[in-house]
Amino acid sequence: QVQLVESGGGSVQAGGSLRLSCVASGRTSSRDGMGWFRQAPGKEREFVSAINWSGTTFYADSVKGRFTISRDNTKKTVYLQMNSLKPEDTAVYYCVAGEVVFTSNPRMIDYWGQGTQVTVSS
């Protein structure tokens, strides 16, 4: 069992930046990947970004060039630096972890955080 706790969400104006953090605890594996999904009201939960144990990264096309994911394996923490934020980035952002994280299918994800709200105003 793994617990994930997100922080860093909030409200910003379009063009601003936020940095999300997620700390994993419990029965974690050093080989697990970590990443982020998001869900806006009335929309399906969608993949944002992920990073595996060796540092390989992947981004959704909608955030590529604006968001950067990183990981500190010693601290069991994943970060999401979000720059040039747009109103369409408004969503609840969920930290994820597990054996499989390079997937757009939420059903393949093992562990989920409770989510943190990100609101971008125009």
What is the maximal distance between C-alpha atoms in the chain?
Answer: 41
Alpha carbons 52 and 43: distance in angstroms, whole number = 27
C-alpha atoms less than 13 angstroms from C-alpha of 33 in its C-beta half-sphere: 20
> Using one digit for the tens of pLDDT, what is the confidence trace for 12-43?
999 999 999 999 999 988 888 999 999 999 99
60 sits in which H/E element = none
Per the CB < 8 A criterion, the answer to whether 42 and 114 are in contact is no
Is residue 74 over pLDDT 90? Answer: no
Q: How confident is the model at residue 53 (pLDDT cuts 50, 70, 90)?
A: confident
Per the CB < 8 A criterion, the answer to whether 53 and 33 are in contact is yes
Per the CB < 8 A criterion, the answer to whether 94 and 25 are in contact is no
Q: What is the CA radius of gyration of the chain?
A: 13
